[in-house]
Structure 1
Amino acid sequence: MASLGAVRPETLPINKSTCKFCALPVQWVRTRDDRPIPMQPGEFPAWAIPVDRRWSFTRDRLHHAPWLDGLEKCRLVHLDVCPARPKPENAVMLELWERLRARAERQNGGIPVEQVLLEEEPEAGATLEP
């Protein structure tokens, strides 16, 4: 069941760009405190994502949403599944990380992500400015 005030992601002010670490697409969205956060495109079942990694849209902003239940969809910060970062421990996030890693390598002519990093690896908990 959707939370009160939920809006469809396609109606939000989203700045599409690419990750400066893996060169894959990201969607920049502002949080309630106006911080830009690079989000992984798409929505994921809340039941499969760790509580502390769930994000949601309400009104016109993005916010951390640990309360989402298993029937709802959530968003992920791209850095949690960026193939330029270490593998995540969560099984669903690991599967996405592996698919993104393969996509990045195909996009880069088969060269492993580690060899084509555009910038140094982001630190844990870092947010990227667009």
Structure 2
Amino acid sequence: MRSWGVAIGMMGPKFWGLYRKEGLMRAILRGKPYRPTHEKAGFSDELATCVGTDEWGNRYYEDWNGKNKNQRRFVEFSDNAKWFPTQTKKIAPAWQGWMHYMYDDPPKKDNFVDPFYRARRTPEFKTDHPTQ
């Protein structure tokens, strides 16, 4: 299923599963035709499990199919990056290793060391003129 379509896609079990879990607007936005298929967890009816979120609001998913022994990890970026294309799409350093299969477990407070010297997230203020 590439998109939800007008009538056929919205009647499928995948759409109603997303609708019950995440609400109407997120289910509709996740099924837009311009969205890649991997963000909708493929062509099958099952949903990918949300493993966690980071400090920027990105949600990380893992799709594990026991029949094919295929495992996929992907990120759904926050809504700020979706509506404001000038903002970059970033992945937190803790989740970067998990996305590239360096770690098997998703990062939590107890299994990931957050160094004190790491730069914290700062808001990006966009103005037309420099401040004094």
**Greater share of strand:** 1
For the aligned pair, the TM-score class normalised by the smaller chain equals under 0.3
Q: Which has the larger radius of gyration?
A: 2
- Structure number with the bigger relative contact order (C-alpha 8 A, sep ≥ 6) is 1
